[in-house]
Structure 1
Amino acid sequence: MFFHPENRGRSARHLKLYAYFELAYTLTDFCAAALFVVGSLLFFSEETTYAATWLFVVGSVLFGVRPSLKLVREVAYLRMGDYQDLARKLD
């Protein structure tokens, strides 16, 4: 099944791919949260409202990147020949 937690331990390649995507996921989360915090602080001053709005927009895009990373990881598993979970889901 897609997004099954046991996928990460199927092989050394799976483990390495999982680790890279987890790092990217965590960095994306951290950056999105940081942009929202800084954007919130910038809203305290009227002169920086425009910049704050852009930080919120970029942070929102990063929150959209999160599920995309998981989907790309699962597609990479399929490209590695991991069809078992997908085949079970289709049955």
Structure 2
Amino acid sequence: MQLFRLSNRERNENSRRIWALWEIAYTCVDFGAALCFTVGSVLFFWKQYETAAIWFFTVGSVLFMAKPSIRLIRELHLLAMGDDDDLARRLRG
């Protein structure tokens, strides 16, 4: 098995559920990052909110940085699930 293969998430009902849960987390982080950048951009219109805008951009950047981490963790999780399936098959026969 390899990382980032469609077959990893389509293996069984449990792998589809795990993939969907991680995809929801990814989408929430993506939405949060976009929201932070939008709010930060709007706040830059007023000088008194410049510090808050910088913080929104910083948080948005951290969220964007988390996105590939979520994808990698999801794929490692699915890959580990496949190892259990392979082990069970080897023990049976």
Question: If the TM-score is normalised by the length of the shorter chain, which range does it land in?
Answer: 0.7 to 0.9
**Is the Cα contact below 8 Å between 2:10 and 2:16 reproduced in 1?**
yes
* C-alpha separation in 2, matches of 1:77 and 1:8: 7
Whether 1:8 and 2:2 are equivalent positions in the alignment is no
Q: Which runs of 5+ in 2 are unaligned?
A: 85-93
Question: Structure 1 unaligned runs (5+)?
Answer: 84-91
**Which residue number corresponds to residue 27 of structure 1?**
28
Give 1 or 2 for the bigger CA radius of gyration. 2
Contact 2:19 2:78 in 1 (8 A): no
Please, what is the CA RMSD of the aligned residues?
A: 1.4
Deviation (angstroms), 1:14: 0.6
| Alignment partners' CA distance in 2, 1:2 and 1:79 | 10
Q: Secondary structure at the match of 1:20?
A: helix
Q: Given the two structures, how large is their TM-score scaled by the length of structure 2?
A: 0.83
| Cα distance, 1:8 vs structure 2 | 1.4
Q: What is the alpha-carbon distance in structure 2 between the residues aligned to residue 4 and residue 51 of structure 1?
A: 41
Counterpart residue number, 1:74: 75
Read off the aligned partner of 2:24 and give its amino acid letter: L
**Number of equivalent positions:** 83
Aligned-residue identity in percent: 47
Which ranges of 4 or more aligned residues in structure 1 deviate by more than 6 Å? none
